[in-house]
Structure 1
Amino acid sequence: MRLSTTGAVIGVKFRAMYRAKHSANHGYGPGGGARLSDSRSTGPGGAGRLSDGRSTGQRRGRAMRAVVLAAGLVMATGTVPMAGAAAQDRMAAPEQPGETWAEIRAAIFPEDLVIAEAGEAISLEAPYRAHDAAAVPVRLRIDPGPGRHVDSLTLIVDENPAPVAATFTLGEAMGPVIEISTRLRVNAYSNVRAVVGLSDGSWMQTARYVKASGGCSAPATGDPAAALAAMGKMKMRLFDAAGSATGGDGRLDAQVMIRHPNNSGFQLDQVTQLYVPPRFVDRIAVFEGDRPLFALEGGISLSEDPSLRFRFTPAGTGPLRVEAEDTDGAAFAQSFPLDAAF
């Protein structure tokens, strides 16, 4: 089942809600669900290119909507609340009541879809108060129980201008228990939410309340020219657990990092005081050889230099291959040997 998000905008209903709530229409998000497909063409220089049916102009137009929607917007960037190590190490509070989730749910999910509370089936870990609102660590563990597997995972930051941070489509090698970590931008005190679709057609969700602000408008951490030069470079790391990368259960624990500023369209150039045009990674696909592990469709709520840590069951069929594409149509691809893991 695919979420009812089309084009670059979450939905007319949500846009109207966000405009009324914040006196500016700047809501947009990933369109459609991510596809787990091995169909791809070759871009300049032989780099893999994800086949999503959109032209470069359409993709760039999607990103540029952020600038148009941000025009005239008065953003209170403020400062990120700082806290000691104890506050950072504390886990986020339980979900807090509010109207935003109901409005987001109505805008991107079918009206008759039942989304149950996950209980202990989903563990979502995030800091109680983040040191850096532009890179809030989020860790997920999803155990669907016997006879089921996870088909999709949607990460949502309720109070962000683009609430849908990422939509994952997951292959069987990622399960049966899903373990994924990443970093998100949090623009205001907000529930951070995981909505999961299962193989039997059922859905469940959980959320945690994170105290952070200004994440979507925080300036990039490095020099823009250097970030442009390094754009698309990737690193892969295998973690050594219990004496081996497989941790004794036959599963690999890997992390992929992609250099990219992930400009949100809400950041101000510190020299010109103009908005930096949006440009962010919106497609990532990871394979072992030709076997799909997962595909991701991302939005501006993913942090600068996107990072994904995950566990999977290897088949020994080839290297770990990562393909990514951004909203300007630039394609990046790299392969990493897994021989050392066996």
Structure 2
Amino acid sequence: MDTRVATILSPEDLGAAGTKIININLQDVISRISIAFKTTNVSEVMTEHPAANLTRIELIDGSDVLFSLTGLQAQALNFYDRRNKPYSYIDDISGHAETAVIGIDFGRFLYDPIMAFDPKKFISPQLKITWDEDICEVDTTVNECIVRAHIFDGKEVTPTGFITSKEIYSYLVQTSGFHYIDLPVDHVMKQLYVKCRYADESFFGLLDSARLSEENDRKIPFDLTMTELLHDALESYGYCFEHAYLNGIDTVTVFYAMPCDLEYVGYSPYGAADASAIWSTGGGKYRKVGTSTSINHKAMIMGALPHGVMPLLPKPSDNLEDWYKVPALESLLLRIKDTASVADVATAEILVSQFRPY
């Protein structure tokens, strides 16, 4: 085989919270770094999605930040980059585990020979994982983190660069008005995203529209409502799906899943009949109610906007020449129109994926 999966961090309980710094000592070219973070439930009180336990994932080389996203942001970008949902397992039963696998994708696809991360091009690359084990489930005291690299082995490849993704800006959403964000024009842009996710709120009840302006309105690549942008995203990327195994209850409880709009839940009691219901309340939050604490449920959730992340540019092809050549521009300005019912509660985050040449 010309490829293999190397272990960067063997299974380890990282503790309650903190930042783990891992030296990237590999000399082989890396196509993807995968981080699997698993926590063992205690309370059966789910307060977030499992990916939220990773509050920041960074790849750095000294002061040079090569990648920087939260777990929620990175998992959403995994969906858009791969045309498929990355692995996660929602399971809120006591003694069971909640799992999120999050990737740093350096290429257009796994084992892309043209776009990949070559550690030899850097002085001292390090992976930084910041976590808090009980964001998803309260009272959690046991976790396990595994980090693996998908590398080229025995095959000579000469990548010309790699895909880098970062959060470049965030702000508190207001009830009205516009917010202006200067976008980077240093590297070719693959995709531009806005993330806005708040429990019990629709994405469209927070942000109204987006507009992109080149060089002081010399050209307007788009000026669209968020609903119009969603239509384009669905046609290009399709729906996101996630599986859940849920504890039996006789009251109303909550859980969280990736889809944040156009949600549909198919579910069934596991092992016996039960009069139950599961429904979305917005922002990735779902409610469930049943009549028996001894009858668990299995559910399949589908919908749009994973973790509240909306792509703003047309879906990129695999041809670099078709990507957005922003280095030719003097300036690039994104305008977001706010429409929240309450100010200073929800946060909007601007994310960008770029091709960084060697």
Same-fold status (TM-score > 0.5): no
More helix, by proportion: 1
Larger Rg: 2
More strand, by proportion: 2
TM-score of the pair, normalised by structure 2: 0.30
TM-score of the pair, normalised by structure 1: 0.31
Higher RCO structure, 1 or 2 (CA under 8 Å, sep 6+) = 2
